Chains A and B, each alone.
Chain A
């Protein structure tokens, strides 16, 4: 912990005043007035706050409706928000729908941890509503194509752009698919004290189906329907860029199709709302890069492997006594859902 600010609650008047002074400074205003500051739900690894900011005495006196994304106090990875901020700003310039980002602060004397500020975009983020509510019928029809085009726009960004410097780059070691599979397999063995024959069998199977190293691209890294802000007409903004990296662009498409994000609607593999055929066809048109369905399937299957890891890891957070959460405990018993999918894929191959 290198936090110089002990208070963790932004509603602390001293903290709020420091934030206001910092915003005024960075925006070139005489004063910044903060109102309606409140913590938002979600953001398991980052704190998210909503606030209104009125700039007074600047060239552009105006009101902002903002979201502040912040490392939780005590997490000493200062600077990581700066990289995320740069990536989102770069994606925004490339025409990717994201909440417009304004300012980033890595100075721990302001709020104790690094943070950045972006526009608050109105919209819904709960996939279950997207899948079930009548009001999102049009959005359901439009979103597979929209997400294919958005993925193509992300993957068109030059991975060697100086703005992206510092991102993890699995392409450097040859095949991002091989690196990701090895990391996942090692994580499974380091994490799970009990044997998992289905996952071990799946790891061998995946290693025989490694796709050839494709083109290098900026990869969102958590591209699934749950990270899309949407309204009645479809996708409004892509959220949660903290796992972005340089790698194989097909990973984003495979993760989008991974079974866990279909919420039971297995007949439509793209997040429970669309077909792989539509996804790949629109993506090929938008990117000029046709994707081999077997290549997509590799990343989709590795996605299920990683979902199993997430469930095992969450159960261990409970079992280790770190967090006495009923929800975490119950998630351990969902590991079998990802095993079921991996087994199905292996059975299909015969």
Chain B
């Protein structure tokens, strides 16, 4: 275990530096890019905070939709690849027309709503959320 501050806390420090100290001293394109950098750093901090829960929920949701069992691989890259494979299986069923109507469509919409809301919670700063 690394010493404190945590990765999230360090990213918050970088965000604060960019937003409070750097942005006001810049102008034009550089000011804009420094703002983008502050937003990106804050987004990564939110991702670290929420990732484990979000990936687990997406894995469960896809498993229920596809009728697949199994654990999400604990290692980060393997976990991402496993999620991509389940999403590919879902896309195949969507392309085959299985989600055009009926209960499977409703279940798909409900699952995708949860994942989209999770992605929004990471990508959008809280003040921009409704």
**Residues of A close to B120: CB separation below 8 A:** 336-337, 340
**Residues of B close to A340: CB separation below 8 A:** 116, 120
> C-beta contact mask, B10-46 vs A, less than 8 Å → 1, else 0?
0000000000000000000000110011011001000
Q: Flag whether B102 is at the interface (Cβ < 8 A).
A: no
**Residues of A close to B119: CB separation below 8 A:** 333, 336, 339
B108 near A201 with CB under 8 A, answer yes
The distance in angstroms between the C-alpha atoms of A13 and B110, with both chains bound, is 63
B88 near A195 with CB under 8 A, answer yes
Task: Find the B residue at minimum CB distance from A334.
Answer: B123
A196 near B116 with CB under 8 A, answer no
Task: Give the Cβ gap from B75 to chain A, nearest Cβ, in Å.
Answer: 19
Task: Find the B residue at minimum CB distance from A193.
Answer: B84
Q: Flag whether B94 is at the interface (Cβ < 8 A).
A: yes
The distance in angstroms between the C-alpha atoms of A176 and B60, with both chains bound, is 40
**Residues of A close to B40: CB separation below 8 A:** 326, 329-330
**Residues of A close to B36: CB separation below 8 A:** 326-327, 330
A194 near B112 with CB under 8 A, answer no
**Residues of B close to A123: CB separation below 8 A:** none
Task: Give the Cβ gap from A340 to chain B, nearest Cβ, in Å.
Answer: 5
The distance in angstroms between the C-alpha atoms of A197 and B104, with both chains bound, is 14
The A315-341 residues at the B interface (CB cut-off 8 A) are 326-327, 329-330, 333-334, 336-337, 339-340
B123 near A201 with CB under 8 A, answer no
A264 near B97 with CB under 8 A, answer no
B109 near A208 with CB under 8 A, answer no
Q: Flag whether B90 is at the interface (Cβ < 8 A).
A: yes
Among A333, A339, A343, A346, the most chain B Cβ lie within 10 Å of the Cβ of A333
B123 near A197 with CB under 8 A, answer no
The distance in angstroms between the C-alpha atoms of A208 and B32, with both chains bound, is 42
How many A-B Cβ pairs are below 8 Å? 67
The distance in angstroms between the C-alpha atoms of A222 and B100, with both chains bound, is 31
The distance in angstroms between the C-alpha atoms of A329 and B128, with both chains bound, is 20
Given the interface pairs A334-B123, A336-B123, the reply to whether A201 lies near B112 with Cβ below 8 Å is: yes
The distance in angstroms between the C-alpha atoms of A340 and B113, with both chains bound, is 8
The distance in angstroms between the C-alpha atoms of A343 and B105, with both chains bound, is 12
Q: Flag whether B95 is at the interface (Cβ < 8 A).
A: yes
The distance in angstroms between the C-alpha atoms of A340 and B120, with both chains bound, is 8
The B86-126 residues at the A interface (CB cut-off 8 A) are 87-88, 90-91, 94-95, 97, 99-100, 108-109, 112-113, 116, 119-120, 122-124
**Residues of B close to A197: CB separation below 8 A:** 87, 90-91, 94, 108, 112
The distance in angstroms between the C-alpha atoms of A68 and B98, with both chains bound, is 53
B116 near A339 with CB under 8 A, answer yes
A264 near B116 with CB under 8 A, answer no
| A347 interface neighbour in B95, B97, B109, Cβ under 8 Å | B109
Task: Find the B residue at minimum CB distance from A207.
Answer: B100
A204 near B112 with CB under 8 A, answer no
A200 near B39 with CB under 8 A, answer no
Task: Find the A residue at minimum CB distance from B80.
Answer: A194
Given the interface pairs A195-B84, A330-B39, A330-B40, the reply to whether A201 lies near B116 with Cβ below 8 Å is: no
A343 near B91 with CB under 8 A, answer no
> C-beta contact mask, A215-234 vs B, less than 8 Å → 1, else 0?
00000000000000000000
Beyond A194-B84, A327-B36, 17 extra complex contacts between A and B, CB < 8 Å = A194-B87, A195-B88, A196-B91, A197-B90, A197-B112, A201-B94, A201-B99, A201-B108, A204-B99, A326-B40, A327-B33, A330-B39, A333-B43, A333-B123, A336-B116, A336-B119, A336-B120
**8 A-B pairs whose Cβ atoms sit less than 8 Å apart in the complex:** A197-B87, A201-B108, A204-B99, A327-B33, A330-B39, A330-B43, A333-B119, A336-B116
| Chain B residues proximal to chain A, CB less than 8 Å | 32-33, 36-37, 39-40, 43, 84, 87-88, 90-91, 94-95, 97, 99-100, 108-109, 112-113, 116, 119-120, 122-124, 128
